[in-house]
Structure formats: structure tokens, C-alpha cells
């Protein structure tokens, strides 16, 4: 078959789907339509053909989105794929609409709800668009059961179309269990975009309070981009010696290795790959008790859960971890690795995707 993949981010596709793409290439031709933001040459070396397609990931301009719909229809006419796989909201909606119009078999991947369902007016619009776009989908893959349940409640798809996966899983070989070392200092690590929805305001507050209590015995590392709204706050915390900011890093594994615990107080996630990678590396987790985060944590065994948006609860969870004996902190990290091996092996996720597609005759 010729399989066309529609996505809004080539870098993210490479990080979390390259094993699936590699498996598909064994017996199929794979064409990837994406904005070029990294790893196009890696995909081409695997044997894919990459086509640059601009996607406005966050805008809600109807003219821009209509242009994307037209681009997808032109692409379908030119490529004549046997199957289309879509990833993220705009490829799911506008790629799905194009496939439905042109009677091309397609499967969609819902990688989280983002902010689209947080605002009532936008949620109603997205519900209608998703319902229309996915009505012709052969399968819809979800990264957690709560997201799937919302689609059922809103009558976007029937339950028989859904396949719930443990996110993209984690490559156990790429993120092996790493030796645990503290050198007399507990280090908390945040990896992600520094933005309100990731809970950074609560994290900043908790970090400042913990620094006042523990001083040099505790450290905070932050890896990722920050939005302009947080530039002053981040730079101020760095000047005060509260956090060490490392910017975006292509390879986060050295930071997981140096960490004692990874903290993600997010408000919403599809399935947090950061948490899966950190747990696979043998690091404890502190995160929000929300879909897409709670699945990675057996509360009290490999980390702690706390309510989203609750700075006090986050502070107490981090303090509780910092006050544990070092051997207990190490045991929590090892328990996370066991949990990943049992439930989140990416090789198993790839097998489940292929099995679901085969059930549909694809």
C-alpha cells in the first residue's frame, strides 16, 4: 500500500512514531506530509518521501484552515494513497474532511485535547468539526481513556471506532534504566514548554519555597522553550539561584540521568512522553492527577500525584520526596521502570496499532 501520514510537526513524529513508520515501511510505501521542522532527512534515509505542508498549529483563522483543507485535497489527488494516518487536531480535522470527501480510507490519532475543549465556545465548534471529520474514519486512536470517553459523551464517534493506547509508549532501549546518584543534592527536573498550561506558575512558587527551606541541598533544572510571557520570571529565578535553565535540548537523556525526580504539574496532556521517558530511565515522578499524567504514576510507589493548579499540594509533594531517605528515592525510580516495562513498551504499542488496522482490513 501507499500510506500517507499527515502531521503538524516532523520533529514530534520522529521522536514518538519512528518505530511505527519503520514497521510500516517493511511492506508499504510511506509518504509524510508535514511542516519541515526537523528530521526530514532521517525519514528520507529510512525510505520515506517527505512533502512540506505548512500547518498553522494554534491559529483559528478560517481562511488559513480552508487553505489547509484545499492543500490536503490536492495532495490526495496527486498521491492517491491507499490509506491516510493523521496526527494532531488540524490534520485530524482537515485531513479527515479531505479523506471523507474523496473516499480515502483513514485513521486518526487524538494526541490530547489541548486547550480546544477548555473554552466552551471553541469546544462546541471543535466538537462539530471533529464529528464531521471523523465520521468516515476507520479507526480513531486515543492516548488515554478519558479523552476517548469525552468523544463518546459528545457523540463525536461511536465506541466501536475507538482504540485506546498507552500514548505512544516509550522506547525501553532508548531510555534505559540509569544509575541513580545524588551526590548529596536532590535535583528536580522540569522538561517541557514553559507555559501556564504546564503548571509552571505553581512550580515556580513551590521551587522558591523549597529553596528557602533546603537551600543548597536541593536544585531545580528546567529544559525547554519558554513563552515570552515567562521570560522575565525565568530569568529572575535564574538570577536568584532558584533554578538552572538549560533551554531546548535535542537529547534530554543526560538531564534525566542527573535528576532525582521529574516534575510535571500540567493542566492537561494526551499522554506525557516526558513522564514515560523519565520513569523508563528510573526516575521518580511528581505530576498532576489528570488524564495523560496519572497513568504513569502508581501513587506512593514510583511518585506522587497532586491536584492540578494547586501550588500548596505541589510544594508538599516535592517536600515529601526531598525528605525521603536516598534509598527510598532510588526505589521509587526503579518501580517506575518496572511500570514502564509492564504497561508502556513502545514495541507493544506498535503491535496494537497494526492489529487494529488489520481488523479493519487495512
Q: Residue 322: its pLDDT value, please?
A: 97
Distance CA 281, CA 257 (A): 7
Q: Residue 59: its pLDDT value, please?
A: 63
Q: Residue 57: its pLDDT value, please?
A: 66
| Domain 186-343 = CATH 3.40.50.2000 | yes
Q: Residue 228: its pLDDT value, please?
A: 83
Lowest mean pLDDT across 61-70, 219-228, 270-279, 305-314: 61-70
pLDDT category at 361 given cuts 50, 70, 90 is: confident
pLDDT category at 356 given cuts 50, 70, 90 is: very high
Q: Residue 118: its pLDDT value, please?
A: 73
Q: Residue 182: its pLDDT value, please?
A: 81
User: The domain 2-169+345-359: what is its CATH number?
Assistant: 3.40.50.2000
Q: Residue 312: its pLDDT value, please?
A: 98
Distance CA 259, CA 241 (A): 17
**Burial (Cβ within 10 Å: 0-12, 13-18, ≥19) of residue 298:** middle
pLDDT category at 183 given cuts 50, 70, 90 is: confident
Q: Is 238 helix (H, G, I), strand (E, B) or coil?
A: helix
pLDDT category at 238 given cuts 50, 70, 90 is: very high
pLDDT digits (tens, 9 = 90+) for 194-228: 999 999 999 999 999 999 999 999 999 999 988 78
Lowest mean pLDDT across 27-31, 68-72, 121-125, 278-282: 121-125
pLDDT at 74 over 70: yes
Lowest mean pLDDT across 44-53, 59-68, 290-299: 59-68
Q: Is 320 helix (H, G, I), strand (E, B) or coil?
A: helix
Q: What is the DSSP string of 103-149?
A: T--EEEEE---TTTTTSHHHHHHHHHHHHHHHTT-SEEEESSHHHHH
Q: Is 250 helix (H, G, I), strand (E, B) or coil?
A: coil
Going from N- to C-terminal start, the domains of the chain cover 2-169+345-359, 186-343
Distance CA 207, CA 229 (A): 19
pLDDT digits (tens, 9 = 90+) for 87-103: 999 999 999 999 999 99
Q: Residue 64: its pLDDT value, please?
A: 84
Q: What is the pTM of this model?
A: 0.92
Q: Residue 51: its pLDDT value, please?
A: 96
Considering the chain, what is the average pLDDT of its residues? 94
pLDDT category at 58 given cuts 50, 70, 90 is: low
Where helices occur in 246-294 by DSSP H, the ranges are 253-258, 273-280
Amino acid at each position: 500500500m501507499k500510506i500517507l501520514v499527515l502531521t503538524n510537526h516532523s520533529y514530534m513524529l520522529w521522536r514518538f512514531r519512528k518505530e511505527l513508520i519503520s514497521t510500516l515501511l517493511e511492506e508499504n510505501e510511506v509518504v509524510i506530509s508535514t511542516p519541515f521542522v526537523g528530521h526530514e532527512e532521517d525519514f528520507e534515509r529510512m525510505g520515506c518521501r517527505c512533502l512540506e505542508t505548512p500547518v498553522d498549529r494554534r491559529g483559528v483563522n478560517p481562511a488559513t484552515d480552508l487553505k489547509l483543507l484545499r492543500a490536503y485535497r490536492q495532495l490526495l489527488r496527486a498521491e492517491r494513497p491507499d490509506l491516510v494516518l493523521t496526527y494532531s487536531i488540524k490534520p485530524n480535522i482537515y485531513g479527515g474532511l479531505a479523506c471523507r470527501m474523496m473516499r480515502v480510507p483513514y485513521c486518526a490519532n487524538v494526541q490530547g485535547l489541548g486547550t480546544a475543549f477548555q473554552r466552551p465556545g471553541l469546544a462546541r465548534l471543535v466538537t462539530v468539526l471533529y464529528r464531521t471529520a471523523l465520521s468516515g474514519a476507520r479507526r480513531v486512536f486515543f492516548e488515554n481513556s478519558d479523552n476517548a470517553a469525552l468523544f463518546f459523551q459528545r457523540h463525536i464517534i461511536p465506541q466501536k471506532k475507538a482504540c485506546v493506547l498507552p500514548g505512544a509508549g516509550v522506547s525501553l532501549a532508548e531510555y534505559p534504566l540509569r544509575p541513580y546518584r545524588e551526590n548529596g543534592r536532590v535535583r528536580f527536573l522540569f522538561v517541557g514548554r514553559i507555559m501556564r498550561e504546564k503548571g509552571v506558575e505553581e512550580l515556580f512558587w513551590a521551587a522558591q519555597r523549597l529553596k528557602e527551606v533546603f537551600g543548597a541541598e536541593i536544585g531545580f533544572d528546567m529544559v525547554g522553550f519558554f513563552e515570552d510571557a515567562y521570560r522575565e520570571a525565568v530569568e529572575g529565578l535564574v538570577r536568584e539561584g532558584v533554578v538552572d535553565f538549560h533551554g531546548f535540548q535535542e537529547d534530554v537523556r543526560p538531564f534525566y540521568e542527573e535528576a532525582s525526580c521529574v516534575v510535571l504539574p500540567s493542566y492537561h496532556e494526551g499522554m506525557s512522553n516526558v513522564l514515560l521517558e523519565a520513569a523508563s530511565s528510573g526516575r521518580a515522578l511528581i505530576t498532576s492527577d489528570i488524564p495523560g499524567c496519572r497513568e504513569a504514576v502508581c501513587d506512593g510507589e514510583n511518585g506522587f500525584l497532586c491536584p492540578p493548579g494547586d501550588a500548596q499540594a505541589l510544594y508538599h509533594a516535592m517536600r515529601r520526596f526531598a525528605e525521603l531517605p536516598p534509598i527510598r528515592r532510588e526505589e521509587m525510580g526503579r518501580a517506575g521502570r518496572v511500570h514502564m516495562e509492564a504497561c508502556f513498551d513502545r514495541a507493544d504499542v506498535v503491535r496494537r496499532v497494526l492489529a487494529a488496522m488489520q481488523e479493519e482490513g487495512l
